[in-house]
């Protein structure tokens, strides 16, 4: 019988799923926002993939919903030490967006921009092969505004500061450049299993 990770998670609890130095925040979901929470209207919402791509592409709210939907079920980990188990998000895989835009051979890093000006950087390899999503639903409901609604990036295998709320642009680059928290002392990559919290970790 096929057994999904979610089934195992509910059946067997959370052993082995808490990265070092993290605690289980339980049913709550803390809000961590550096800027003022914006009101982002779906009618004017857009997401662009540009920079080192063959076909710079911008999707409207309706257009992005034409892409094949995909669901993430799993865990998220914030650098401030809370982890949250068994979260469900729905949206589109970043792979779909990159397939449309066509990264050029020299594209190796991505600067993720939010409409508020928040930025975070990642290696392109951390956004491909089913590891990252642009999501608009949490737990079957529209993503709440304070959590990045109408849509945010989701990169659950890295600390949650990489998951930019109110995401508006993925800029493909040849060379790495630090984003907002990375300029302010956070680790460039942020793997929770390696406890890459701060520069030098
Ligand atoms: N635009 C934006 N995105 C952001 C942040 C932010 O301050 N602004 N904070 C990051 C951090 S540090 C974390 S832990 C998560 C928090 O997401 P949440 O408020 O939905 O829990 O969003 C990340 N994305
Ligand atoms: Mo965070």
Ligand 1 close to Cβ of residue 161 (< 6 A):
yes
Inside any domain, residue 178: yes
Is pLDDT at 100 greater than 70 in this prediction? yes
The ligand with the least distance to the CA atom of 156 is 1
DSSP string, 35-98: SPPP---TTT-EEEEEESBSS-EEEEHHHHTTSPPEEEEEEEE-TTSEEEEEEEEEEEEHHHHH
Query: Which of these, 89, 113, 72, 112, lies nearest to 29 by C-alpha position?
Result: 89
Residue 31 alpha carbon, nearest atom of ligand 1 = 19
Ligand 1 close to Cβ of residue 89 (< 6 A):
no
Minimum CA distance residue for ligand 1 atom 19? 31
pLDDT band at 13 (very low <50, low <70, confident <90, very high): confident
**Structural domain of residue 64, as residue ranges?**
47-194
The ligand with the least distance to the CA atom of 138 is 1
Inside any domain, residue 55: yes
Inside any domain, residue 121: yes
Is pLDDT at 92 greater than 50 in this prediction? yes
Distance CA 109, CA 177 (A): 8
Read off the pTM: 0.94
Minimum CA distance residue for ligand 1 atom 6? 33
Inside any domain, residue 52: yes
50 C-alpha to center of ligand 2: Å?
Answer: 26
pLDDT band at 40 (very low <50, low <70, confident <90, very high): very high
Inside any domain, residue 199: no
pLDDT digits (tens, 9 = 90+) for 48-67: 999 999 999 999 999 999 99
pLDDT digits (tens, 9 = 90+) for 135-178: 999 999 999 999 999 999 999 999 999 999 999 999 999 999 99
83 C-alpha to center of ligand 1: Å?
Answer: 13
Structure confidence at residue 169 (pLDDT): 98
Inside any domain, residue 156: yes
Distance CA 49, CA 98 (A): 8
Domain of 79, CATH number, reads 3.90.420.10
Inside any domain, residue 160: yes
Probe target for ligand 1 pocket from 22, 28, 32, 180, with the most ligand atoms within 8 Å of CB = 32
Please give the tally of structural domains in the chain. 1
Inside any domain, residue 177: yes
């Amino acid at each position: 019988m096929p057994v999904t990770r979610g089934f195992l998670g509910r059946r067997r609890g959370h052993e082995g799923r808490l990265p070092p130095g993290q605690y289980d925040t339980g049913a709550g979901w803390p809000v961590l926002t550096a800027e003022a929470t914006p009101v982002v209207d779906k009618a004017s919402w857009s997401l662009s993939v540009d920079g080192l791509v063959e076909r710079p592409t911008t999707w409207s709210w309706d257009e992005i919903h034409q892409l094949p939907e995909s669901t993430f079920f799993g865990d998220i980990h914030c650098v401030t030490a809370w982890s949250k188990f068994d979260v469900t998000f729905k949206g589109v895989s970043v792979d779909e967006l990159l397939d449309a835009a066509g990264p050029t051979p020299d594209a190796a890093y991505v600067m993720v921009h939010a409409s508020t000006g928040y930025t975070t950087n990642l290696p392109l390899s951390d956004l491909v092969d089913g590891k990252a999503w642009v999501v608009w639903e949490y737990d079957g409901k529209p993503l709440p505004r304070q959590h990045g609604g109408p849509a945010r990036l989701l990169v659950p295998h890295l600390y949650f500061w990489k998951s930019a709320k109110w995401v508006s642009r993925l800029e493909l680059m040849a060379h790495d450049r630090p984003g907002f928290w990375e300029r302010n002392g956070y680790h460039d990559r942020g793997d929770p299993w390696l406890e890459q919290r701060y520069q030098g970790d």
